[in-house]
Amino acid sequence: MSTAMVRVVGAVLVIGGGIAGIQAALEVADQGFKVYLVERSGSIGGVMARLDKTFPTNDCSMCIESPKMVEVGRHPNISVIPNGEVISVSGREGRFTVRIVRRNLYVDDRACVGCIDICASVCPIELPSEHEFMIGGRKAIYIPFPQAVPLVAKIDTDHCIGCRFCEAACERDAIDYFRGDIEEELEVGSIIVASGIEPFDPSAIPEYGYGLLENVITAPQYERLLSPAGPTEGRILRPSDGKVPEKVAWIQCVGSRDDEYPCCSSVCCMYATKEAMATSG
């Protein structure tokens, strides 16, 4: 290994804005270092922002995470880069050059103040909400969730039909369909990868009925039903008919402890117990 002296850059890149990335960014920034927090979605928060309760204490998930999100947004040493993606990393430890592309999605974050009701009310497109694990709805122009940081609208360019109704309705002229993506280059001394998780898609195992039977849902989707901020405002209702179910059953280890994936997920017992307690209570 070369022993050549390298001028260390006193800045840190954190990739991923979930709870791990948030906590890492705060701890590094509190030590006086500049932090760039890159999040590929429109808001920091990650999966924890979509949960109702946390195991084992059943504390409100957003009651724990939301103050940290606000602190990140206000911290003088942290720059949040939403809708961002790292496209290349070069250099060596102590001095990395990182290229980032930020998807502008037609909304000027310097002008938008998050008054989404005006823009969304004129949008003709209805789509499933990623924040609700696809069981709630949103428009093609939307804010991921009410406590989003930053609180800025984004346009789903994959489904927007270009009617520009939202552009005409926006009172702050924050929407511009001619805005392009922005590439920027950062110099950092260290990189923390906190890229988060994606829930397993059980439709790959058809014998359990997910995707075939309307009332078979995933644990994350059930979590949103339990949440007072979810699509049913905390009421447990069957997707098929909107009625209260008489019984609820949990199937464990879907996508794990089988011939293809023999390992234990290490989490399904915890969240099933948590959800069962919340349901019985």
Q: What is the pLDDT of residues 109-153, one digit of tens each?
A: 999 999 999 999 999 999 999 999 999 899 999 999 999 999 999
Residues 6+ apart with CB under 8 A from 67: none
Q: Which residue has the tokens 């590929």?
A: 40
**CATH classification (class only), 11-103+181-193:** alpha beta
> What is the side-by-side strand order in the sheet with 84-92?
84-92, 95-102, 182-188
pLDDT at 106 over 70: yes
pLDDT at 6 over 60: no
Residue 260 pLDDT level (bands cut at 50, 70, 90): confident
Mean pLDDT of 240-248: 95
Residue 1 pLDDT level (bands cut at 50, 70, 90): very low
Tell me, what's the pLDDT at 7? 62
Judged by average pLDDT, the poorest of 53-57, 89-93, 180-184, 204-208 is 53-57
Residue 43, CA distances (Å) to 2, 146, 148 in order: 40, 10, 5
Give dist(CA 47, CA 131) in Å, integer. Answer: 9
Tell me, what's the pLDDT at 259? 86
Tell me, what's the pLDDT at 65? 97
Give dist(CA 245, CA 193) in Å, integer. Answer: 41
Tell me, what's the pLDDT at 155? 96
User: Residue 52: is it exposed, middle or buried by C-beta count within 10 angstroms (0-12/13-18/19+)?
Assistant: buried
Phi then psi for 96, rounded to 5 degrees? -105, 145
Mean pLDDT of 51-76: 94
Cis peptide, bond prior to residue 150, ω within 30 of zero: yes
CATH 3.50.50.60 maps onto the chain at 11-103+181-193
Give me the torsion for CA of 58, 60, 65, 69, rounded to 10°. Answer: 170
Tell me, what's the pLDDT at 250? 96
pLDDT at 9 over 90: no
Tell me, what's the pLDDT at 180? 84
Residue 5 tokens, joined: 């002296």
Cis peptide, bond prior to residue 56, ω within 30 of zero: yes
Among the listed residues 157, 2, 189, 178, the one whose alpha carbon sits nearest the alpha carbon of residue 89: 189
Tell me, what's the pLDDT at 170? 96
Give the model confidence (pLDDT) of 151-166 as tens digits: 999 999 999 999 999 9
Mean pLDDT of 5-25: 88
Residues 6+ apart with CB under 8 A from 214: 238, 239, 240
Give dist(CA 170, CA 164) in Å, integer. Answer: 10
pLDDT at 4 over 60: no
Bridge partners, residue 59, by sequence:
54
